[in-house]
Structure 1
Amino acid sequence: MTSATKPDIVKVLVTGFGPFLDISANPSWSIASSLPTNLSSTNGTPIQLVVPNTPVPAAYHKLLTQSSTLIAEHSPHIVLHMGLAFDRDYFAIEQSALREGYHEIPDVDRKVITRVENKKLFGKEPASLGTSLDLYTAVDAWQTACARLRLPTNGEGVMQGKIGGKGKQQRKQQGKQQGKKVDVRLSDDVGTYVCGLIYYSSLAEMQKRVGMRDVVFLHIPPLNGEEEVGVGVEVTKELVVALVDVWEARS
């Protein structure tokens, strides 16, 4: 892309999932729905964040319809999908997704994508698709930007030595103020549930539409309360900027 064709605004479509299992408030949607409308890249390029009015349902067939409709409607330059990872205490962007395997775990509607359906949906698409964005550079910048962020803690685990009385209280208060350092990583384990399917389908969709797979999936750890979700919003904002930066550098 030359300077003459460089867009005035980089449009980033961001989605989060709705309830599933016993999760009534999915933190991925809590974050997505709390994002600002506009950001700026490191170079000052305006970024428009497009977030749908409703979360993506954690149902295979419904998410396929919604994700393709959103891409067609908004023509984003970058797509960022987000979902919850129960078993992680860190934020992770995933490198790739698998075409098959969605027949094994039923979704919230108790349905699966059968092997026959999968063949109809994806035909001769590769067994795995990965993003076209330079995630190694993006993650380096993302980690640097998130170094200032802390998740709230109750101060446990910060005590050292035998300190009692006022000193103990001061140390606990210091732990509360400092909090737990935010951990953000590169991963390649999106899985074969709804997270993997929306990632793979959007990678394939963007490849067909624009010839590039500028799609990323972000796994969110369990977050509770407004304060933790607020930290998640900051983490996501920094990721969006890092992704747009590498997108601009390539373009």
Structure 2
Amino acid sequence: MSTPLTVLVTGFGPFLDITTNPSWEIAHRLPSSLTGLNGETITIIIPPEPTPAAYHKILAQVPKLIEKHSPDMVVHMGLDVDSGPGVFKVERSAPKEGYHEFPDVERRVFTRAENKKTFGKAPATLATTLDLVTAVDAWRDSCSSLSLAKLQASGTILKAKAKGKEKQMVEVQLTDDVGTYVCGFDYYISLLEMQKKTGKREAVFFHVPKLESHDELRVGTRVTEELIKALFGVLK
């Protein structure tokens, strides 16, 4: 493809007791462009600030970002606090409702009345139209040699042995459990907006594990780059 393709990539800011969110740390470390699996140029668009972990601000910001940049694809990233070490997950779908249950960083929820007014008769669930099975297969292959340093129970990093036995291999997964907190809300809005704008839902939500050190974030950035390339490999 001669015309550069574009992907909008976002990451979240602080929430709960997470003061430094690895999703944003990865997002702003991404290069300005990548070469895709088929030789195409992929331009990466990163907003200047992280997405606030707040329902109403997400609703205000995400449609504007999509309208402004008209991306070919959107990749939203967030932290999965329950994810195992080295486990990265791309999510299939997002629910329309349920965001009235868990207050955001502003101690607000998205009420059922607000949901009905905003989303109306939109589907109860929206799923990406990207072929994630094929994309994740390619993503898994490209990440098969990546690893993170293992942690002791105390949280200190073990020194890697010569044969790499003290390393945690990266694991990538296709899942369908984005949840009904800000991650799911972010994803649903993006899927809905991309459908309105393009007729397709070429967006994904990407959950990353806790990553703190420079080396961990470097690996997380590489995993993200490989995901983007794999997703553009199935873009039609």
Report if TM-score (shorter chain) is over 0.5. Answer: yes
Contact 1:38 1:48 in 2 (8 A): yes
Alpha-carbon displacement from aligned partner over 1:114-144 (angstroms, at most 9, x marks no partner) = 0010011101000000001000000000000
- Alignment correspondent of 2:93: 96
* Aligned counterparts of 1:62 and 1:47: Cα–Cα separation in 2: 28
* 2:177 maps to 1:189: yes
Q: CA deviation at 1:154?
A: 5.1
Tell whether 2:208 aligns with 1:213.
Answer: no
Structure number with greater Rg is: 1
Q: Is the 8 A contact 2:149 2:160 kept in 1?
A: no
Counterpart among 56, 63, 84 of residue 61 in structure 1: 56
* Superposition pairs of residues 1-251 of structure 1, within 5 angstroms: 8-89=3-84, 90-153=87-150, 173-174=161-162, 179-247=167-235, 251=236
Paired residue secondary structure (1:195): helix
For the aligned residue pairs, the C-alpha RMSD in angstroms reads 1.8
Asked if the contact 1:81/1:216 (under 8 Å) is kept, the reply is yes
Give the aligned residue type for 1:111: R
* Residues 44/222 of structure 1: CA separation in 2 closer, same or farther (3 Å cut): same
Q: CA deviation at 1:155?
A: 8.0
1:224 aligned partner, one-letter code? E
Runs of 4+ that moved beyond 6 A: none
SS in 2 for 1:174: coil
Indicate if the aligned counterparts of 2:136 and 2:230 stay in contact, CA closer than 8 A.
yes
Mapped partners of 1:235, 1:23: distance in 2: 21
Unaligned 5+ segments in structure 2 are none
**CA-CA distance at 1:153 after TM superposition:** 2.1
Q: 1:42 deviation in Å?
A: 1.0
Q: Offset of 1:152 from its aligned partner?
A: 1.4
Q: Deviations over 1:4-58 (max 9, x none)?
A: xx66111000000000111110000000010000101111100000000000000
Alignment length (residue pairs): 230
The offset of 1:148, in angstroms, is 1.2
Contact 1:155 1:179 in 2 (8 A): no
Q: Does the aligned pair in 2 maintain the 1:133–1:215 contact within 8 Å?
A: yes
Sequence identity percentage: 53
Which letter does structure 1 place at the counterpart of 2:140? Q
CA contact (8 A) 1:155 1:175 kept: no
Name the one with the larger helix percent: 1
Cα distance in structure 1, aligned partners of 2:113 and 2:78: 26
Cα separation, partners in 2 of 1:176 and 1:148, compared to 1, 3 Å: closer
Q: 1:119 to 1:37 in 2, by over 3 A?
A: same
2:161 counterpart SS class: helix
**Structure 1 residues 175, 121: closer, same or farther in 2, change over 3 A?**
farther
Q: Which runs of 5+ in 1 are unaligned?
A: 1-5, 157-168
